[in-house]
Structure 1
Amino acid sequence: MPSTPRPPSLTERTIDAVREGIRDGTFVPGELYSVYQLADQLDVSRSPVREALLRLAETGMVSIVRNRGFRVVLPGARELAEIMAVRMALEIPAAAQAARRASAEDRAALETEREAMQQAVQDSDEGAFLLHDQRLHALLLNLAGNSHTIRIIENLRDATRLVGMSTMRKSRSLEEVYAEHLPILTAVEHGNATAAAESMRKHLESTGRLLLREAAGEDDDVDRLWAEYVTWSR
């Protein structure tokens, strides 16, 4: 008999709630939020909230202010370079695996997300676009069949989400981001693992360099950071 899935713990529910709050703009970078208020909003005790925030702090998504609360953290250029190195190391081979393994049902699921992304572009709905972008990447990672990779990438994408939203407003359009996904999906559709990996590399490199430029301070050399932290991983 299959085992019944374990319901999420209060800590896991809190983590999900904070992540969702970051995604939908409820929690914004720099603002100080109270642990007590968050516990009241979620109708849980403070202990699971504190545990959830400690876990989120480990991913770099929040910083904890002792005896006061927590803040959402925008990653700096160096941290973004490190994140993109990990994403490229994991998502490029995952795209190749997806091309090798995708069934007709899998390709249909990817097409559904592509259509939803296209509709979001037509509606100029950035929130919907980001949601379906995330789902499409998750489908590709699921096809690669490594649950650890899925969890790692989910954390990294959440850590960069706020910076990524600003690049769409300032540096590139939804249409441009959408277009970067099409070669990946075409390669998966045709079972071309080499093309899928190369298309994913180009997409992540385009995204990563934009993120670094958006986060860079006066003393940050984007090209040097990219060469130091990302290029070596190829």
Structure 2
Amino acid sequence: MATQYSSMAPTPDPTIPVLGPPSSYREKVVSALRAAVIAGELRPGEVYSTPGVAARFGVSVTPVREAMLTLAKEGLVEAVRNKGFRVTDVSDEQLDEYTQIRALIEIPTVVGLVATADTTSLEALRPAAREIVTASVAGDLIAHVEADTRFHLGLLALAGNAHLVEVVRDLRGRSRLYGLNALAASGALLASAAEHLDLVDALLARDEDAVRTIMTRHLSHVRGLWATAED
């Protein structure tokens, strides 16, 4: 049975902006390292030194140290005395739980935008959707995760619920997309990336069934394909 939505559109919260790229150097380092953890570029269980990470990403030590402390607060890494930081692991059971919660939140919220989101706000998401495709073609997994995060959180922000956006941001951070390398190598990552443009088009067409179908299929990739750990 189709979910029923109120015909009264909620008043957008002006304090919730559509998310754009990080504005400061520190924020960019945090975003890149967070994406590297989520994408599996920094592997769970391994200990990384701050100078080593700084050299790998071509940045200075201080913002990396600050970024790692931020990621530690988010539960993505943990400090290892006199050595650096260890990337925390996530069990299959936890991934299942995170994906289930995301589906419960994101699918009805995005479907609801069919009736409430204005055309200008939806079109503003298209550049991020294109960035995801571009990153997928280039095989740039970190850029893919960063653009994907901006797109989905920006989309959810249109519902006007800041707490909902923060909950999903946390769930996305706790997830791991260990299968991204395999998907990129097989060409399947590009097909998944293209779904973001399909979603924008379906929302602009006010096609509730298409939006629900795309969101359901897209989130299934997170657990069914992307979270497959490589041996």
Q: Which residue of 1 aligns with 2:11?
A: none
Q: Which moved more, 1:69-78 or 1:87-96?
A: 69-78
Structure that is richer in helix per residue: 1
- Report the CA distance shift for 1:67/1:161 in structure 2 as closer, same or farther (over 3 A): same
Inter-partner Cα distance in structure 2 for 1:169 and 1:64: 31
1:31 and 2:46 are equivalent in the alignment? yes
State the SS of the aligned residue for 2:132.
helix
Q: How many residues align?
A: 199
Deviations 1:189-218 (A, max 9, x none): 112334312320111013321134x1399x
CA contact (8 A) 1:107 1:189 kept: yes
Measure, in 1, the Cα distance between the counterparts of 2:103 and 2:208: 15
The answer (yes or no) to whether the contact 1:92–1:198 under 8 Å persists in 2 is no
Gaps of 5+ in 1: 4-12, 218-234
Q: Does 1:119 align with 2:141?
A: no
CA distance 1:14–1:106, change in 2 (3 Å): closer
Deviation at 1:141, TM superposition (A): 0.7
CA drift at 1:77: 1.5
Deviation of residue 56 (structure 1)?
2.1
Q: Deviations over 1:121-144 (max 9, x none)?
A: 444444433332222212211112
**Does the 8 Å CA contact 2:111/2:208 hold for their aligned counterparts?**
yes
For residue 160 of structure 1, what is the aligned residue in structure 2? 175
Report the AA paired with residue 74 of structure 2.
L
1:16 deviates by 7.8
Distance in 1, Cα, partners of 2:179 & 2:163: 23
Query: 196, 202, 205: which is aligned to 1:190?
Result: 205
Instruction: Return closer, same or farther for 1:158/1:167 CA change in 2, 3 Å cut-off.
Output: farther
AA matched with 1:80: L
RMSD of the TM alignment (CA)? Answer: 3.8
Secondary structure, aligned partner of 1:71 = strand
Counterpart residue identity of residue 143, structure 2? A
Residue 215 of structure 1 corresponds to which residue in structure 2?
229
Moved over 6 A (4+): 13-16, 35-38, 48-51
The residue type equivalent to 1:105 in the other structure is T
* Distance of 1:19 and 1:103 partners within structure 2: 28
In the alignment, the residues of structure 2 paired with residue 78 and residue 88 of structure 1 have an alpha-carbon distance, to the nearest angstrom, of 15
Q: Please tell me whether residue 55 in structure 1 is matched to residue 78 in structure 2.
A: no
Structure 2: runs of 5 or more not aligned = 1-14, 16-24, 54-59
